[in-house]
């Protein structure tokens, strides 16, 4: 009986010791297991650089600068200016390919076709006669352009830029009081740009802007030996409003 009481008396202590031993072993075992690792989600950002395509529709307000002519009576005294002249307006379609170098600089190569633009000129004797002549011309512009982008503000990116290249100007015949064959030639051209683009999506941008375009002077009409008349202009200046879409390829 006494031994039984002794055994019962030692049970609580034994349970306590066993509990402590179990807890200690469990803690030691836990330390041997690597804690779970939670990886942060990968953030994919689209590079600001990359190739893009562009398409534009524009409206050109043009002016043929200082048209004049020479004939047999005027070869020794210089050109004779038309009494007055008027140049019409025309639509323009353009395409291009470019490269976005970084958030603040991009370049592109553009080709634009200006549809038929009307031209009217009056000339004649100082006091006794006058003549009205009409013609028209089309223009193909090829320009290499560079742009400085001025930051992105809630999807809007203003920019300024410039371009250099050439323009193929093709004149129709001058008809009216007389007849002069139209001439076609390449001329040097340059342009200044300003505008703003808007991010429609990550890849598509709406682009609206203004361009001042200047095509250097040349010979719109040339009799080529049938009569001794030659015609000249000091260039074609255009104020151009444009709207287009740019699509970033990659």
pLDDT tens profile 223-233: 765 555 788 99
The residue segments making up the domain with residue 139 are: 51-248
Distance between CA atoms of residues 20 and 26, nearest Å: 10
Count structural domains, the chain. 1
**63-96 b/e (C-beta count within 10 Å ≥ 16 → b):** bbbebbbbeeeeeeeebeebeebebeebebebeb
| Predicted confidence (pLDDT) per residue in 88-136, tens digit | 999 999 999 999 999 999 999 999 999 999 999 987 655 555 678 999 9
Number of Cβ within 10 Å of residue 149's Cβ equals 20
Retrieve residue 176's tokens: 């009216």
Domain containing 243 — which CATH number? 2.40.160.20
Decide if 39 is inside a domain.
no
Retrieve residue 158's tokens: 């203003």
Decide if 56 is inside a domain.
yes
At residue 246 the predicted structure's pLDDT band, cuts being 50, 70 and 90, is very high
Decide if 166 is inside a domain.
yes
Retrieve residue 125's tokens: 């004797």
Decide if 40 is inside a domain.
no
**Contacts (Cβ under 8 Å, ≥6 apart) of 192:** 160, 161, 162, 163, 211, 212
Decide if 13 is inside a domain.
no
| Predicted confidence (pLDDT) per residue in 164-217, tens digit | 999 999 999 999 877 889 999 999 999 999 999 999 999 999 999 999 999 999
Distance between CA atoms of residues 87 and 220, nearest Å: 13
Decide if 241 is inside a domain.
yes
Decide if 43 is inside a domain.
no
Is pTM, for the whole model, over 0.95? no
Decide if 18 is inside a domain.
no
């Amino acid at each position: 009986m006494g031994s039984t009481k002794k055994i019962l008396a030692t049970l609580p202590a034994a349970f306590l010791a066993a509990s402590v031993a179990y807890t200690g072993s469990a803690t030691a075992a836990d330390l041997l297991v690597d804690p779970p690792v939670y990886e942060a989600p990968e953030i994919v950002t689209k590079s600001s650089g990359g190739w893009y395509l562009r398409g534009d529709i524009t409206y050109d307000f043009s002016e043929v600068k200082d048209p004049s002519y020479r004939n047999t009576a005027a070869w020794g005294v210089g050109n004779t200016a038309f009494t007055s002249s008027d140049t019409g307006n025309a639509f323009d379609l353009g395409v291009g390919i470019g490269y976005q170098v970084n958030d603040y600089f991009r370049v592109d190569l553009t080709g634009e076709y200006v549809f038929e633009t009307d031209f009217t000129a009056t000339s004649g004797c100082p006091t006794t006669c006058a003549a009205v002549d009409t013609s028209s011309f089309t223009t193909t512009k090829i320009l290499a352009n560079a742009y400085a982008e001025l930051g992105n503000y809630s999807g809007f990116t203003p920019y300024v830029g410039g371009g250099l290249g050439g323009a193929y100007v093709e004149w129709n015949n001058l008809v009216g009081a007389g007849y002069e064959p139209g001439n076609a030639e390449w001329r040097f051209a340059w342009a200044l740009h300003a505008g703003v683009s808007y991010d429609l999506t990550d890849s598509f941008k709406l682009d609206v802007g203004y361009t001042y375009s200047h095509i250097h002077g040349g010979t719109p009409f040339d009799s080529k030996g049938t009569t001794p008349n030659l015609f000249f202009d000091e260039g074609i200046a255009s104020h151009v409003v444009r709207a287009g879409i740019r699509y970033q390829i990659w």
